Homo-oligomer: A and B are copies of this chain.
Amino acid sequence: MKKAGHMDKALEEARRAGLRGEVPVGAVIVLDGAVLAVESNRTRELNDVTAHAEILAIRAACARIGDERLVGADLYVTLEPCTMCAAAISFARLRRVYFGAEDEKGGGVVNGVRFFSQPTCHHAPEVYPGLAADDATQLLRDFFAERR
């Protein structure tokens, strides 16, 4: 599947999160063309502030391959990862991060702490921002507009 296809899957999963009342963020992890994990935000459902789409996807992908690291794998996520997720992405040794919407308020990749450029970051993935950014942004906007 192409890059756009993986991000479409992440967007579809983000939409599902929105229908469950969760902030709509979705993530897909791909290794050698195979999808290892498709997850979305479940912080409310699980009463777990760490249950961001990226963290759930990293945990699911690691469980699937029985390894603590995801060397050579790529992450597709609809929103710029936060500081927590950026650090987890680094720890998991992901190869590439494709993300959709930027998050000025809470992002930690191209905003905020820019973790991958810090001396305390010991593995930095390649970062590709803005993949399907319009769709991802619209999804978040619609979600928050409906809840106001």
Which residue numbers of A lie inside 8 Å of B, CB to CB?
Answer: 43-44, 47-50, 55, 58-59, 62-63, 66-69, 82-88, 91-92, 105-108, 111-113, 115, 118-122
Residues of B within 8 A of A118 (CB): 83, 112-113
Q: How many copies does the complex hold?
A: 2
Q: Please, which residue of chain B has its CB at the minimum distance from the CB of A119?
A: B112
**Partner of A84 from B47, B66, B68, B88 at Cβ < 8 Å:** B88
* Extra 16 A-B pairs, beta carbons < 8 Å, given A48-B59, A84-B85: A47-B62, A47-B67, A48-B63, A49-B58, A49-B92, A50-B58, A50-B88, A50-B91, A83-B83, A83-B87, A84-B84, A84-B87, A84-B88, A84-B91, A111-B120, A113-B118
CA distance A105 to B14 in the complex (A): 35
| CB-defined A-B contacts under 8 Å, sample of 27 | A47-B67, A48-B62, A49-B58, A49-B62, A49-B91, A50-B55, A50-B58, A50-B59, A50-B91, A82-B87, A83-B83, A83-B86, A83-B87, A83-B118, A83-B120, A83-B121, A84-B87, A84-B91, A87-B87, A87-B108, A105-B120, A106-B120, A106-B122, A108-B120, A111-B120, A113-B115, A113-B120
